Amino acid sequence: MKSILLVIAIAPVLLAQPGAQTKQAPPKPFQAQSSSTISYVVKGDEKIVETHNVTYDVTGEQVPGRPAGERLVLRKTTLEKQVLGDEGEEATTTLEAWPFGADLKLKPLYALTLTGTGGEKMDDALWVASRGTEEVDWWSVYKLGTAQHLFDTYVPLLKFSISLDFQTLRYVGLEVPPDDTADKRLKEAHVVAVLSYASEDKVIREALLTCDDPKQAALLRSFADNTREISLVEGPRQGRTAQGAKAVEPSRKIRILSSAHYPSPPSPVEVLIPIAGDDLDLAHAQLPPKIHIAAWRR
């Protein structure tokens, strides 16, 4: 499986100060139209279906990295080519963004083109691109306002709020490095995975999971022989709200569970990492024998 970033084109307008207060003229009425197509051709023994789909979306007025009060128009273009009867497919998705009301014939704020079968905006803050085109599902997470890459994850993105009084969202992903990873450090035989803990604006903490036994590490990294999942474990804990009132504040832990595929015994491996304040408490992580976790930076 190959991970290929085809192009990221970011216009100079992105250099404007995020969140700057600007007085904006009301957007003028506009209309845009794009074609979606499907074709089927036969070339020798190959039966090929190609699709070209275009969708539009509009954000709210609070997109991190953009001026307050500004909405974005998003255009998603997905190209897919599949040989019927074969596994996998060729696919690319392009995300383009304009300020709401801008002429969509003009150059967008950015154009982000990736291998993959699609993507969705999340919380008007992130773009979560679906990258799997073969046997492995995985996702890349970007800032919606600027197209800045945050992290990759090979399990569905986990999100939750760390605040009792108002929603303060955090996002967690687990990157299991494939054999062709570009980061040479992640090819080391003891590496298992990288855990990412992020806000809508930045990656707050990354942690590297390793195993003393290279054979076990290889099994835990395997996509064919192992399944991984991450979840949030919450327990009651006495606390206080910002106004000083007593409240039951949940204690939170990130749970990573890895299990072998049938016919091998599941042999689950569980890692629990507490969240302290707004960070991963790696010093108090609960780890099985031979497994270690440590802060890591790209």
- Report how far Cα 194 is from the mean position of its chain's Cα atoms: 13
Structure confidence at residue 237 as a pLDDT band (50, 70, 90): low
Question: What average pLDDT does the chain have?
Answer: 87
Q: How far apart are CA 18 and CA 73, in angstroms?
A: 17
Going through 32-138 in order, the beta strands assigned E by DSSP cover 37-43, 46-58, 72-83, 90-99, 110-115, 118-122, 126-130
pLDDT of residue 14: 39
Task: Please give the distance of CA 145 from its chain centroid, rounded to a whole number.
Answer: 15
Q: Give the pLDDT of residue 262.
A: 80
pLDDT band at residue 18 under the 50/70/90 scheme: very low
- Per domain, the residue ranges of the chain are 1-15+34-147, 155-298
- Residue 244 clears pLDDT 80, i.e. is over it: no
pTM of the complete model: 0.83
Q: Which of 28-32, 105-109, 133-137, 161-165 has the highest mean predicted lDDT (pLDDT)?
A: 105-109
Cβ-based neighbours of 294, under 8 Å, separated by 6 or more: 207, 208, 210, 282
